[in-house]
Amino acid sequence: MAKRVSLSGNEAVAFGMKQINPDVVAAFPITPSTEVPQYFSQFVANGQVDTEFVPVESEHSAMSACLGAAAAGGRVMTATASAGLALMWEMLYVGASMRTPLVLAVTNRALSGPINIHNDHSDTMGARDSGWIQLYSESAQEAYDNLIQAVRIGEHKDVQLPVMVCYDGFITSHAVENLEMLEDADVKNFVGENRIAPYALLGKEPMSMGPLDLPNHYFEHKRLQAEAMKNAKNVILEVAAEYEKLSGRKYSFFEEYKMEDAEAAIVVINSTAGTAKYVVDNLRAQGKKVGLIKIRVFRPFPAEEIAKALKNVKAVAIMDKLDGFSASGGPLFNEVRSAMYGVADGKIVTSYIYGLGGRDVTSVNIEKVYSDLFSAIETGKYEVYNYLGVRE
Amino acid sequence: MAVVFEPTKGLLDVPTHYCPGCTHGIIHRLVAESLEELGVIDKTIGVAPVGCSVLAYNYFACDMHEAAHGRAPAVATGIKRSLPDSVVFTYQGDGDLAAIGTAEIVHAAARGEKITTIFVNNCIYGMTGGQMAPTTLPGQVTETSPYGRDVKLQGHPIRVSEMLSTLDGAVYVERVSVDSVANVLKAKKAIKKAFELQIEGKGFTFVEVLSICPTNWGLSPRESIKWLQDNMIPYYPLGVKKDITQQEVK
């Protein structure tokens, strides 16, 4: 039987880690992720988990130690945010290319500078091409559910990739919500008691991990990595189906909210989806055909599926909680618009950069986006590149 | 005929890429012999650095992990925590350990990670072609200090062994040299002892080995050995910097 509990996002993630009971956690604190390793270290101190907890000197060393532990065959987890993720950068790529499954919980926080501790997605979106699977979470419930599924996804024999579980700093990490936790035994059964590493140091065969890989093999190595990321798509759905049986909660690449007959849609990531659903409900009550797509899986990017989901809209606004500084819209905008090419042509597609550095995003802001979309549909006149809620 | 000398089982029977006269080969052999004599080759994991010994995983007969630049002690931490019954060593040069990886080595030592670090100090960045290292001696000419290291501009060399010996997590720290037969034998003794203490679970063990770089010093191997003896040993004095087993005896 599942338990109803009231927890913050960070607590939910820490309790999820406790139920997963990893072999090694190496971590360094950073706001607003600090609580995750802190709560977890208390479970270690109380003997409630069997984990080796290593409080290392930096995030760079946290990820280095995690990679070493995973190379040795362990099930490994850590947590970070913002500049901490940036300091891990070098090792993110190493971990993905070494095909070391490990789970990293990221509380999304703006990346310096100027220095800022509040939420946006500039940290993990910058790491989008590091070769990690990225799962995003609207709520503490989703962060918890994604964390548990992440273990199975990353460790799957056809995948063997590290996974980032992302949720919004403070908004989700610190707000307390009611959620449902699985029973300890169910989580243990779901993830399996130990990681089964197809290859590991001191395994059955002599092993070198991470050696130099020059022009004669590097490309093939990367090609296999790309294939693993493609394989992850099926595995994500399989794991989600199995998780649904256990939890009753349904997960896919993204959530479609009132999209069946929607004329104007928003595509968004993480907690803002909650605000946007409220707006969708209100506008629907007024008879307006609006819908929402909330991205859960950004890597691998479900291009075909998103394009298909947007096939019948007249206009779509794609919202990025970071500025990619490409001078042509945020990364979510560019990838969704590109996915639509040839599948969902002739639509009005606009970009909204919003909420940078924790700037509040209210229902009024979201209503404006829908209102812009309807105006574009009616008049044919619109701006492609927009900033929402900024003083100019 | 009596066999008086054999290859060590701790090294693979392959040619190395090291320059003529380089002492990495001797140091590799001392590590490998120690692992063989202790009977732990099959349970040992070595962590190779970035630098001249980046390809060390091609030579040691144990499982190996190649770490990103400077990160070997952090990677070794994860490996040892995951496999506590294994024997884990890092093999690092002075660019890897004393520059980009300073934080990793200091904190692995401070935490008392039960690993052994073999630190090969030749006062220069070898693989990148002879630039100044944190260990470069005052006045030493390198590619990036063509008139000699000026301590007013470029600071002073770091004596890593002395620094690490101040940390309680480090149980054994010794500086040795491979410039003579006598010193090679002493180096072997130190390296083997470092592994023994690791196997006994005492804590972090560290052996700094003064080494030569004829190619980048611009000297013959014979001249290089003399340069090490005349310049390096006075600045980096040999000997045990810390040994908790001796303190226990006292």
Query: Is the CB of residue A67 less than 8 Å from the CB of residue A103?
Result: no
**Per residue in A21-69, pLDDT tens?**
999 999 999 999 999 999 999 999 999 999 999 999 999 999 999 999 9
Domain holding A369: CATH number?
A: 3.40.50.920
Q: Helix (H, G, I), strand (E, B), or coil: what is residue B243?
A: strand
Q: A102: closest CA among A207, A23, A12, A181?
A: A23
Which of A232, A247, A262 marks a domain boundary? A247
Indicate the residue of A69, A208, A209 with minimum beta-carbon distance to B82: A69
pTM over 0.80: yes
Same domain? A223 vs A283: no
Q: Do A57 and B67 touch (CB under 8 A)?
A: no
Q: Do B79 and A57 touch (CB under 8 A)?
A: no
Same domain? A224 vs A261: no
Which of B75, B80, B90 best tests the A interface by mutation, with the highest count of A CBs <10 A? B75
Query: Is the CB of residue A61 less than 8 Å from the CB of residue B104?
Result: yes
Same domain? A219 vs A303: no
Q: Where are the beta strands (DSSP E) in chain A?
A: 3-8, 24-27, 52-55, 76-80, 103-108, 133-137, 163-168, 176-181, 208-209, 254-257, 264-269, 290-295, 297-299, 315-320, 348-354, 385-388
Residue ranges covered by each domain of chain B: 24-249
Same domain? A306 vs A329: yes
Chain B CB contacts of A58 under 8 Å are 103
Indicate the residue of A69, A72, A212 with minimum beta-carbon distance to B54: A212
Same domain? A260 vs A363: yes
pLDDT confidence of B248, banded at 50, 70, 90? low
DSSP B229: I
**Per residue in A73-84, pLDDT tens?**
999 999 999 999
Query: Is the CB of residue A16 less than 8 Å from the CB of residue A142?
Result: no
Angle separating helix axes A140-155 and A9-20, nearest 10 degrees: 30
Residue length of chain B? 250
Number of H helices, E strands in chain A: 12, 16
Query: Would the pLDDT of B105 be above 90?
Result: yes
Q: Do A202 and B43 touch (CB under 8 A)?
A: yes
Which of B79, B91, B102, B104 best tests the A interface by mutation, with the highest count of A CBs <10 A? B79
Q: Do A65 and B77 touch (CB under 8 A)?
A: yes
Domain holding A33: CATH number?
A: 3.40.50.970
- Rg of chain A's alpha carbons, rounded to an integer? 21
Amino acid code (one letter) for A274: G
Number of structural domains, chain A? Answer: 2
- Given CB atoms, is A44 within the 8 Å cutoff of chain B? no
**Per residue in B41-97, pLDDT tens?**
999 999 999 999 999 999 999 999 999 999 999 999 999 999 999 999 999 999 999
DSSP B213: -
Same domain? A333 vs A370: yes
Average pLDDT rounded to a whole number, residues A232-259 = 98
> Per DSSP, what are the bridge partners of residue A7?
A177
Query: Would the pLDDT of B150 be above 70?
Result: yes
What distance in Å separates the CA atoms of residue A244 and residue B167, rounded to the nearest whole number? Answer: 51
DSSP string for residues in A40-76: HHHHHHTTSS--EEEE-SSHHHHHHHHHHHHHTT--E
Q: Helix (H, G, I), strand (E, B), or coil: what is residue B133?
A: coil
Which of A247, A264, A291 marks a domain boundary? A247
**Per residue in A265-293, pLDDT tens?**
999 999 999 999 999 999 999 999 999 99
Q: Do A61 and B104 touch (CB under 8 A)?
A: yes
Domain range for A46 is 3-247
Which of A201, A205, A212, A213 best tests the B interface by mutation, with the highest count of B CBs <10 A? A201
Say which residues have a Cβ less than 8 Å from residue B188's Cβ, sequence separation at least 6.
B30, B33, B34
Amino acid code (one letter) for B222: R
Indicate the residue of B45, B58, B78 with minimum beta-carbon distance to A67: B78
A vs B: CB pairs below 8 A: 120
Same domain? A100 vs A204: yes
Q: How far is CA A126 from the centre of its chain?
A: 12
**Per residue in A125-172, pLDDT tens?**
999 999 999 999 999 999 999 999 999 999 999 999 999 999 999 999
The alpha carbon dihedral of A260, A266, A271, A277 has a sign of negative
Considering only alpha carbons, which residue of chain A is nearest residue B50? A212
Class of domain B24-249: alpha beta
